[in-house]
A and B are shown apart, each in its own frame.
Chain A
Amino acid sequence: MSQAAEAGHAVSDEKGFDFGKASSGKVAMWIFLLSDAMSFGGLLLAYAILRSGSHDWPDPSKRLGIPFTAGMTFVLICSSVTMVLGLAAAQEKDKKKAVFWLCLTILGGLLFLTGQVKEYTGLIHEGAGITVDNMWATFFIPTSFHGLHVFTGVTYLSIITIQTARGKYTDGPNASANNIEVAGLFWHFVDLVWILVFTFIYLI
């Protein structure tokens, strides 16, 4: 496959900003993810400041299910590896395999969302809620914001998977898996953020 076909429109100029083979879509996604990281950073920082200034912050492991959430973390890690394997299959022009791995990735996202609904329902039944205290506020806001990202990712990947099944990224001499890679960036970022949320909100 030619580099140009793989890269789409390469973003480079002669003035020293060398993005190599990275497509404009990829660079744009990275910039978006940076801004998204700032949003998560703000929420996590608000939590950190409230908690480090509090004298009676409860131990999260007394209120939250650590083993269950560790399982949810594992599901997201699995869906990240299926995502890259789907991309690799599409880059090798193997449409069937690409669709298979992408479907598993979506399934991982749905499983995570189901887990989160189950977790929230249980907690709310026990009297938890956003306005109950600072601990619950700084638990529900970042985790639901992250859940919204997982939902967005599932929607995004569903569209990409349908396009993949139709051969958009594998059939023909000019087909490029670039759009799958860009969607993958979003998906891995959601996994990356969860790694930090799991540590800061659940474990510490």
Chain B
Amino acid sequence: MAGHSKKEYVVVFFVLTLLTGLEVGLKYMNLSRTALIGGLIALALAKATAVALFFMHLKSETRTLKLVVGIPLLFPALYAIVLISESIYRSGFTLMATAH
């Protein structure tokens, strides 16, 4: 099918490699715990989204298939936010606060 160009695949590959390097770099910079966690999660989600959209061709699927895939993932995300927040709150913010 002509819909997916090889050039696009190679560009996505380089972006993924670059972001992986950035993640490792972030780890060794002296960032605050909150900034490190926030930055790493943002980069990981960007990479995962790029794989789904370009390598798994989700961007060229119909709206129905996109929704079938996307909507169910919102529930575990919501579940995670609620449970992790609760756990952090009860333990006195150790995950966010401890240096190591």
Contacts and interface: CB of A to CB of B under 8 A. Distances in A.
Interface in A12-27: 16-20, 22, 27
Given A34-B69, A38-B76, A195 B44 contact: yes
B69 to A, nearest CB: 6
A84 interface: yes
A192 interface: yes
B93 to A, nearest CB: 9
Report the contact-size class of chain A (Cβ under 8 Å from the partner): 35 or more
Main secondary structure of the interface of A (DSSP, over half): helix
A53 B27 CA distance: 22
Contact of A34 (B24, B61, B73): B73
B80 A48 contact: yes
Interface string A52-85: 1111011101100011001001100110110111
Contacts of A67: 24
Report the contact-size class of chain B (Cβ under 8 Å from the partner): 35 or more
Interface in A113-135: none
A199 B64 CA distance: 30
Given A30-B65, A34-B69, A34-B73, A52 B84 contact: yes
B87 A20 contact: no
A45 B83 CA distance: 8
A96 interface: no
A141 to B, nearest CB: 17
A61 B16 CA distance: 22
A204 B98 CA distance: 12
Contact of A20 (B40, B47, B62, B84): B62
A203 B91 contact: no
Interface string B1-43: 1001010011011001100110110110000000011001101
